[in-house]
Structure 1
């Protein structure tokens, strides 16, 4: 559960907090080691450091720090447990739904820095208790004196300055706790994570993402966006039109025809993002989708994690999807190498297992009948193959970061469609979308 907690804003304060976290993990390991030795056991150090209690301790402390340390935990957890020990993967995954928020005084300091001492004169009302709190910032409900109701996204102080050091310190903790397999190269993931985090912490860039997305949607009445207010937006404070829709997960009791229509819109939009536009809102948190009961429009929120995919990258992803649906195993393996799932030096056994996993992922698109998301055993069957890859085949590579973001997008969409209890003709929607005219370049 989220609660008020002052954000450590200086690098020194954040380093000290990370140091206390390391000390807490060591203390937990000593306590667990003493207990096991008293029972006549001979535990290994990595087993002591990665106990369930220490995994929870890590998740709790990162939720207090927020910022890049918390975001990196979220990014790494997107591998779905393929590389990290299950206890740690579960603890990091919980960070997606957990973040403390700033006290009133700290919010006011950020706004004064952005807008000046008399910033509050422009507002009829500003509610300091946030509507939502995440890893980089929190969102407030406000009413301008001209009558416009707006959402104000306020960045935690010090987040932008601490990104590189937070990521490096978090990586050191992962190495010290032996959370990563021996020989595992996390460096490329760290560099991409830093770049992505710097982009997410730039609210002027997020405003441009919203405007780009609005251009791509055009006048499609099925969607509404929180269009930014450029005159009140800075790099650390983003002001947007307030969208007051219903939580999308609360719509599971709508008539089946309405739920199916909404789900079809969601699924088609995700495909257009990846394969047509190359502009992907990659955070599928349920809170980022709302429903306007007045006009039936889908409201899309939070574009901080927007990722751009160049035409050649979209072509590679499209080729992999089509191969997984209709192609040979050799075609699946070849296109998986192009995307970065496999490498030429991988063993035949490892490649076969990964091809089987990709075939499973594409199973809804091969189904002759509309696919029922709720109650399907597909996630369980995929987990079984993932366990095999981790344990027997020594899963040894995290996919490229841009692919990990697509994992998050797809898994979140699957969970949402399951919550809506719908059946969709997935193959028909995929083929229709992939034959659409080429989209604008993602520049």
Structure 2
């Protein structure tokens, strides 16, 4: 591959091949069944071929197509197992790998952004990328002062490519929808598109990363690399080693899985409380496990290109409504959902039915510790995706206000990763420590009382 495919017509043709390819393989599958192979075997082969094409196209295009693939990959826990197997391998690849940008292109970006003498800034620079992502790739290097660093170089034309891909993918949303039961793909693509300009701005990313690095500098549980240098299309941060979370998911021991899950939940809720920012790209490729001095593990967090700005931390209404749901206060919960816009003025629902809809979703908060499994995730997805179920009918009438969209996606994505980890997590402990409104402070009036 010579470069990031930038021409809209080229990228559109590649993306258009996805649904056409799905249709072609369906015809191939029908022929196989007529030829005597069982529907189950043919179905498995069909899924495998589809997964391989999905990875090939999304990985080659990088840009918005790969961004979408990464966002989708954390939801594979919701897929029925017979479908999930082939997709899991293909989508998980998107979390850690993509075809690299040519060395000549990397060097030309560094010359343009750091100057002709850019090599003088480094004692060492590895031309082979250490990682590739949706809008840039990372090279390992040694900064002039001896620090090991990660040099993130943005693909030329990444912005144009992102917008082109996501616009095109939105047209295929209906075809892509069946990949994840119970999830509306179109709002996910729209929201990814809305954040393009922010993610392309390495200045904003550097600010968000440094805010976290400063806040978590001496933290016993979380490590965020310091920013070393930032310029347009180039971001240099301290290097951190560690075990990629995708490897823990693949073959980690149960003890390590549980520790990773607990730290992930802790970071999800403590980050906004401590920095006023929500890390909004929680796929496994952005996390590492690092050994600590006591023989345990810390969580390394990478990539702050997408954040939600929450100056007061997560909204107090989330904590209050969660607490009231756990306490069975149906009327108070319903009233708060109406006030926040989750129930539109033109819609009227039974408060007890709303409570019944919410309780299974917040099951992990009901108990001291909860084991997140793919089976649990699939049961939740099936419950809200089955048109015959009351949960589906009620869910269709609820509304997600724009201000909660990113929080909702990040929470769902994190839960998806916890299910991939099969981790046992004390979720309630993290909520009590970090979620505003979840614990009633002494002397505070209880909503609905």
> Under TM normalisation by the shorter chain, which class is it?
0.7 to 0.9
| Contact 1:357–1:382, Cα closer than 8 Å, also in 2 | no
- Alignment CA distance shift 1:177-1:378 (3 Å): closer
Which residue number corresponds to residue 407 of structure 1? Answer: 412
CA shift, 1:177, in A, is 7.5
**TM-score, normalised via structure 1 length:** 0.74
SS at match of 2:146: coil
Q: Give unmatched runs, 5+ long, in structure 1.
A: 41-50, 439-443
SS at match of 1:284: coil
Q: Distance in 2 between matches of 1:269 and 1:318?
A: 16
CA RMSD of aligned residues (A): 4.5
CA shift, 1:299, in A, is 2.7
SS at match of 1:290: strand
Which residue number corresponds to residue 442 of structure 2? Answer: none
| Contact 1:189–1:401, Cα closer than 8 Å, also in 2 | no
Q: Verify: 1:72 aligned to 2:77, yes or no.
A: no
- Alignment CA distance shift 1:116-1:341 (3 Å): same
Which residue number corresponds to residue 365 of structure 2? Answer: 365
CA shift, 1:243, in A, is 1.6
Equivalence map 1:20-419=2 (5 Å): 20-23=14-17, 25-26=19-20, 29=23, 32-33=26-27, 36=30, 52=47, 53-54=49-50, 56-75=52-71, 94=92, 95-174=94-173, 190-217=189-216, 219-230=218-229, 233-247=230-244, 264-274=262-272, 277-287=275-285, 288-294=287-293, 297-309=298-310, 311=312, 314-336=315-337, 343=344, 348=349, 352=353, 355-367=355-367, 370-373=368-371, 378-388=376-386, 393=392, 396=396, 399=400, 400-413=405-418, 415-416=420-421, 418-419=422-423
Q: Distance in 2 between matches of 1:73 and 1:285?
A: 11
CA shift, 1:383, in A, is 3.2
- Alignment CA distance shift 1:390-1:160 (3 Å): farther
CA shift, 1:227, in A, is 0.5
Q: Distance in 1 between matches of 2:223 and 2:263?
A: 13
Give CA-to-partner distance per residue, 1:17-46, whole Å, 9 cap, x none.
Answer: 321442464365357448749989xxxxxx
Q: Distance in 1 between matches of 2:272 and 2:382?
A: 27
CA shift, 1:331, in A, is 3.9
**TM-score, normalised via structure 2 length:** 0.73
Q: Distance in 1 between matches of 2:341 and 2:21?
A: 39
Q: Distance in 1 between matches of 2:156 and 2:356?
A: 46
Q: Distance in 2 between matches of 1:108 and 1:35?
A: 46
| Contact 1:133–1:139, Cα closer than 8 Å, also in 2 | yes
Q: Give unmatched runs, 5+ long, in structure 2.
A: 35-45, 440-449
| Contact 2:74–2:283, Cα closer than 8 Å, also in 1 | no
CA shift, 1:414, in A, is 5.0
| Contact 1:272–1:433, Cα closer than 8 Å, also in 2 | yes
